[in-house]
Amino acid sequence: MLLVVGGFVAVKFLEGKIFWQEKEVAIAKDHPLWNSQVRIYTKSNYRYIVANGLPNHETGSFPNPRNPNSIKAQSYQFRVPANPRIAERIAARKLGRFGVAVNGVLFNPGAAEYWRGDRNWQYEALSGKIDLGMDANHAHVQPNGAYHYHGLPVGLVAKLGNGKEMLLIGYAADGFPIYTPYGYSEPRNPRSPMRQIRSSYRLKKGKRDSGSGGRYDGTFFQDYEYVAGAGDLDECNGRFGVTPEYPKGIYHYYITQEFPFISRYFRGTPDDSFRPQEGGQRPMGGQNRPRPGSMPPPPGFPPDRPPPPDRLPPFPR
């Protein structure tokens, strides 16, 4: 994997570890199966993520009987606020994409499958009630070849740490950081014990009054409800607190082991670079590209094809 970053924070993968520095770092470490390339850097008030969307870890077999698509390189160019702010209102995830991992793979939690086409009843991708051909990373492939995560990317976590640390794993479209399921017991106290962070969503009680009927069992997104105080997190699956990268505190999201896994709502304002292309999204996704003019492409990065296999574009000065 080639990972180059710079500016406010820098990341490099080395022997399964992640290191943070305030200068540009470049390291080449290829996965035997995928030529994963990603560049994360800050310039002015934005953090830019340029990637080919290929994972830096082993994946399941694609295509497979439940997911007939092959993994292909993409041409991702995203930007997020470097200093994100809480919005006045919570925003629903209407972009199709919640964020992007530090390896350049998308977080796209929602399924594009509905009960008999009724959009009031959306299948929950990780419910176990519907087989969408997921691999061990809770990921599968869109028709355009985009590999994407619906839950915790186990292979990526293994490269970053031991899985029981507070690991920065990506950025949401609104700029707030995304972490693995572990965090401080006391959100504002970095000396407090580390433990697994819990979602505040629970299955509804009773039976569905429409759709397929039957008891709420997690088959559908609509089977769940947010219960304030039931866990550690708010309805966006996040909270304010200190993190290793933000010792003064910041709002941040978690990818939890239970629903919603990846948040379905934004606490901030998502950037337009994550917005789907005109014409909508096909079942199991489609290649969604930034609207013209929504963000300036980094110098040397052709907008109509993935980065060349041997290099990423020059680092902007």
Query: How confident is the model over 101-133, as pLDDT tens digits?
Result: 999 999 999 999 999 999 999 999 999 999 999
The answer to whether residue 288 scores a pLDDT higher than 70 is no
pLDDT the model gives residue 164: 86
In SS3 terms, the chain reads as: CEEEEECCCEEEEECCEEEEECCCEEEECCCCCCCCEEEEEEECCEEEEEECCCCCCCCCCCCECCECCCCCCCCEEEEEECCCCCCCCCEECCCCCCEEECCCCEECCCCCCEECCEEEEEECCCCCCCCCCCCCCCEEECCCCCEEECCCCHHHHHHHCCCCCCCEEEEECCCCEEECCEEECCCCCCCCCEEECCCCEEECCCECCCCCCCECCCCEHHHEEECCCCCCCCCCCEEEECCCCCCCCEEEEECCCCCCCCCCEECCCCCHHHCCCCCCCCCCCCCCCCCCCCCCCCCCCCCCCCCCCCCCCCCCC
**What's the confidence (pLDDT) of residue 163?**
77
pLDDT of residue 152: 98
Residue 7 has pLDDT above 70, yes or no: no
Please report the pLDDT score of residue 212 as a whole number: 94
pLDDT digit string (tens) for 234-263?
A: 999 999 999 999 999 999 999 999 999 999
Band of the pLDDT at 302, cuts 50, 70, 90? very low
**pLDDT given for residue 92 in this prediction:** 87
Greater model confidence, 166 or 278: 166
User: Is residue 267's pLDDT more than 70?
Assistant: yes
Ordered by start, the domain boundaries in the chain are: 2-274
Q: Is the pTM of this model over 0.85?
A: no
Given a cut of 80, whether residue 266 has pLDDT beyond it is: yes
